[in-house]
Amino acid sequence: MQSSNDRPSVRVLVVTVAHRGDDARIAFRQIGALRDAGIDVIYAAPEPALDHGSVERHVLPRATGRRRLAAWAAAVRIVRRHRGRFDLVLVHDLELVLPIRLARPGVPIVWDVHEDVIASVADRDWIPRRCRRAVRTLVTGLEWLARRGIDLILAEWSYRDRLGKWPVVPNSTTVPEQPRSDRDPRSVVYVGRLSRGRGTIEMIAAARELGDAADVVLVGAADADVADELRRAHRDGVIDWRGPLPNPEALELVQRASVGLCLLHPLPNYVGSMPTKIYEYFAHGTPVVATALPRAAEAVDAAGAGLIVPFRDASATADAVRTYLRDPELARRDGSLGHRWVSENHNWAVDGRVFARQIERWATDVPGASGADIARSDSDHDVGRHAS
């Protein structure tokens, strides 16, 4: 089959078992960008099995905790079953790289590096503490072995320090033309995985301090070590825990909120990363209360659209939230500043086109396709501005 400009149609198999099927970066941004570029997509991922229109969808088991072998085996079966139907495999989990290479030798593989998988060992509650050093060593070796002979896309500039100068596709977001103006003046929202390292305990404690002044809504799946506390707080009416929601439903809550929360702890996996949720809050005109991670603080300062609080400080968090709830005009102004800043600097409308172009080049083995077009200059590293 030929495209309208006489280039062969590119076919990509997108695979994940560690992420939900509605993961925003994979399902809504990257697959959307590939389809907009005329690239055919087969998507193999866990539930939920969203309707992606013309995208062929296959449901895989979710790899959770120590239960992962069945998910790996299912992913390998998909790769073998559909051999010859794709030009490139876009993998989102380190743990799948080697099995897929063995299942389909010779096919181009791209690993999209969402997080620092070595540093993330410290934030996995299902790995016993006494085993984490050994697991970290094992993951380091697995990563070194897996990335031989494949291409990488990095979600953060800081990942280049260890992985090399691969193309960077930031966790930018889709930005609506205008944020909504009909805000709930009491609504405070958090969207994302819920764990101790992501500030869940502080969010619950801050909600208790805020009392009837705020409606604190938490959206996301919970790690086992915080699930009981979330259930109790939800039962007592301290918070409204919605669990995981499809991305459009979660963003609907963000659009109507007056404040967004991002209370990550200074863990190794977070220190060099930019929390995507801050971009998402800004994109929808919602100011943020965030902890002082370097990249988060830089973004809040550059946009002028939020307040920074100390790590693990629920009282300071509650005070910052009150600042916005008591002054809706300040919340509206800061939200507007955040919307303008992220639109100009971290807009998926720009990054998505460059991402799709790079995937197409790797899939068709265009000579000289080194990723230079997608990489930005070092001067852009600090605030992630789009190159002109």
Confidence of residue 371 (pLDDT cuts 50, 70, 90): very low
Q: What is the pLDDT of residue 13?
A: 97
Q: What CATH class does 187-345 carry?
A: alpha beta
Q: What is the pLDDT of residue 367?
A: 40
Using the predicted structure, report yes or no on whether residue 7 has a pLDDT greater than 90.
Answer: no
pTM over 0.85, yes/no: no
Percentage of the chain with pLDDT > 90? 68
First to last CA, the chain: 35
Using the predicted structure, report yes or no on whether residue 343 has a pLDDT greater than 60.
Answer: yes
Q: What is the pLDDT of residue 332?
A: 96
Q: What string of DSSP letters covers 147-160?
A: TTT-EEEESSGGGH
The answer to whether the beta carbons of residues 219 and 193 sit under 8 Å apart is no
Q: What is the pLDDT of residue 123?
A: 67
Q: What mean pLDDT, rounded, does the chain reach?
A: 88
Range name among 160-164, 197-201, 297-301 with the lowest pLDDT average: 160-164
Homologous superfamily (CATH) for 11-172+348-380: Glycogen Phosphorylase B; (3.40.50.2000)
The answer to whether the beta carbons of residues 22 and 51 sit under 8 Å apart is no
Q: What is the pLDDT of residue 372?
A: 38
pLDDT in tens, 207-260: 999 999 999 999 999 998 899 999 999 999 999 999 999 888 999 999 999 999
CA neighbours closer than 13 Å in the CB half-sphere of residue 163: 28
Q: What is the pLDDT of residue 150?
A: 93
Range name among 29-43, 117-131, 136-150 with the lowest pLDDT average: 117-131
Q: What is the pLDDT of residue 376?
A: 39
Confidence of residue 382 (pLDDT cuts 50, 70, 90): very low
Indicate where the chain has its CATH 3.40.50.2000 domain(s): 11-172+348-380, 187-345
**Three-class secondary structure of residue 9 per DSSP:** coil
Q: What is the pLDDT of residue 361?
A: 94
- Measure Cα distances from 283 to 182, 326, 351 in Å: 15, 22, 15
Range 184-196 average pLDDT: 96
Q: 126-131: long-range contacts at Cβ-Cβ below 8 A with a sequence spacing of 24 or more?
A: 126/65, 126/66, 126/224
- Measure Cα distances from 142 to 57, 235, 281 in Å: 29, 42, 35
Range 140-150 average pLDDT: 83
Q: What is the pLDDT of residue 142?
A: 79
Residue 195 makes CB contacts below 8 A (sequence gap 6+) with: 123, 125, 222, 223, 225, 226
Q: What is the pLDDT of residue 381?
A: 36
pLDDT in tens, 22-74: 888 999 899 999 999 999 999 999 998 777 678 999 999 998 877 889 999 99
Q: What is the pLDDT of residue 104?
A: 83
Q: Which two tokens mark 115?
A: 């997080």
Sheet with 187-191, edge to edge strand ranges = 240-243, 215-219, 187-191, 259-262, 288-291, 306-309
Rounded Cα distance, 5 and 1, in Å: 12
Tokens 């959307």 label which residue? 32
pLDDT in tens, 61-111: 998 877 889 999 999 999 999 988 999 999 999 999 999 998 888 889 999
- Of 149 and 315, the structure prediction assigns the larger pLDDT to 315
Rounded Cα distance, 182 and 328, in Å: 11
Using the predicted structure, report yes or no on whether residue 265 has a pLDDT greater than 80.
Answer: yes
Q: Which two tokens mark 94?
A: 């380190």
